[in-house]
Amino acid sequence: MKTITIYDTTLRDGTQGEEVSFSVEDKLRIAQCLDEFGVQYIEGGWPGSNPRDMEFFRRARSLRLRRARIAAFGSTRRQKNPVHSDPNICALLEAETPVVTIFGKSWLLHVRTALNISEEENLELIGESVGHLVRQGREVIYDAEHFFDGYKHDAAYALKTLREAHRAGAATIVLCDTNGGSMPEEVERIVEDVRKQVSGPIGIHTHNDCDLAVANTLAAVAAGAEHVQGTINGFGERCGNVNLCSAIPNLQVKLGYSCVSSEQLATLTELSRTVSDLANLAQRKHLPFVGQSAFAHKGGVHVSAVMKNPATYEHMDPEVVGNRRRVLVSDLSGRSNVAYKAKELGVALDEKSAATQQIVEEIKSREHQGYHYEDADGSLEILIRQSLNQSENFFELSGFKVITQKESINAEPTSEASIKVRVGADIEHTAADGNGPVNALDKALRKALERFYPELKNIVLSDYKVRVLDGFEGTGSKVRVLITMRDEHSSWNTVGVSSNIIEASWRALVDSILHYLMKRRPRAESSWRAEAI
């Protein structure tokens, strides 16, 4: 089994992506996670470009990494600077990393236009920069920038730049598809030629501008590349770098190469989500292998088949990469979806029962009204249990009133909500202020219920989303509100729909509280089973 070296550049190339930014603390934590996952190299940043990267390199010296080696990234020396005093080269050495990665020009367009120097002068920049860093005791990885474009323009010169880097002592030569415009067939053919003419390990660095970064990486490895550079979740400039969360399982699971251990591969989904969280970005649901939707099934025919044999609609076991199978319930659902989901939620339900068909029809009716249960398991469980007469009547609303007022043009508006609820034989009437009408209503409801259910103090609203369902009615349009609540152990989503945003929010809030109380104060197990099953 051939081993592929994984070089992660999330902390450098990944941060060049739009909306991606990491603090020093974030970068240190990601570096630790990458090491635990098993990558061999972690590119920490460009030390000559900003103080944050220099601070990262200073603090990274104290990281206790088990496998990965930290790399500093920069360019070859400038044409007018002696190599020993070039600021960029000096900054790379001052970072005190065991590995230095430098890029140089392979494309004559850049040599003549961007650098405005001769072909021979460019070769001198490459050779002197690599050689000086090697003499200073660094392992040097040479990134041949725009290599594929350069090769297609003038193959002889592009290859000459690689030979110069290798002659000067570069440990690995990396071929970069910097503009992301190459096709897999081109990449494979060019890498094969490079392997014949340049000795030493060859790497691949692809960008996703044609949505081919993974395909190009696999093509390069098939042609002999043994070092793969990329980022977690495909973060990077423009359309991003190759996504290691796709490249690694394709290489290891599909093609039989060795990248990390099987135990480490099983943490890939967690790694993907951690990096997204630290970037303060929602993980894209449809990411292959690691996305929330990667192994999600919605159509009734699909779900029925997957329940019999997952291989019918899954190309691999999701647990191999630390993901899980999900069954979605919507207006496209059949009884198989509902039965599977009920089992997942802990509700005993016979797929062939009349009760199951009634639940399917109720879900379809509500979805037609604008409800959306794919991301609202809390509301779905309440619907199922209420349909089966398995839900506790924890409280009843007698009424509420919400007032928002703005006292002057420059004043912030304030909101007040009053609410009256019945709990058993008791009626509780309370009021609360909030920074908005929904916040005030949430506070008032909790205030009314906490005397009876003190555990409600443990939950907080962690996300609140509003979507206009049909804009033709303008401000009178129906809206869908999706709420995420959490306690110290878990989180759950609920949904509400109405043409009144306060009412939609109320419905979602009530479901959130009912779901929590239902879990914390369940009936005796024997009474949870419906006679209809």
Confidence of residue 389 (pLDDT cuts 50, 70, 90): confident
Which tokens is 172 given?
């690995």
Average pLDDT over residues 26-36: 95
- Does residue 521 contact residue 456 with C-beta atoms inside 8 Å? no
* Cα–Cα distance, 375 to 360 (Å, whole number): 17
* Residue pLDDT, tens place only, 438-467: 999 999 999 999 989 999 999 988 888 888
CA angle in degrees (0–180, nearest 5) for 361-366-368: 95
Cα dihedral across residues 514, 519, 521, 524: positive or negative: positive
Three-state DSSP at 178 gives coil
Is residue 413 within 8 Å of residue 434, measured between CB atoms?
no
Alpha-carbon distances of 171 from 101, 123, 137, 374, rounded to whole Å: 10, 17, 12, 50
DSSP 3-state percent helix, strand, coil across the chain (nearest 5): 45, 20, 35
In angstroms, rounded to a whole number, what is the distance separating the alpha carbons of residues 460 and 180? 44
Q: Which fold has domain 5-260?
A: TIM Barrel (3.20.20)
**Per-residue pLDDT at 377 exceeds 60:** yes
Asked if the model's pLDDT at residue 532 lies above 50, the reply is no
Q: How far apart are CA 192 and CA 505, in angstroms?
A: 60
- Where are the CATH 3.20.20.70 domain residues in the chain? 5-260
Q: Is 443 exposed, middle or buried (0-12, 13-18, 19+ CB in 10 A)?
A: buried
Q: Please provide the average confidence, as pLDDT, over all residues in the chain.
A: 90
**Confidence band, pLDDT 50/70/90 cuts, at residue 180:** very high
Q: How confident is the model at residue 375 (pLDDT cuts 50, 70, 90)?
A: confident
pTM of the model: 0.75
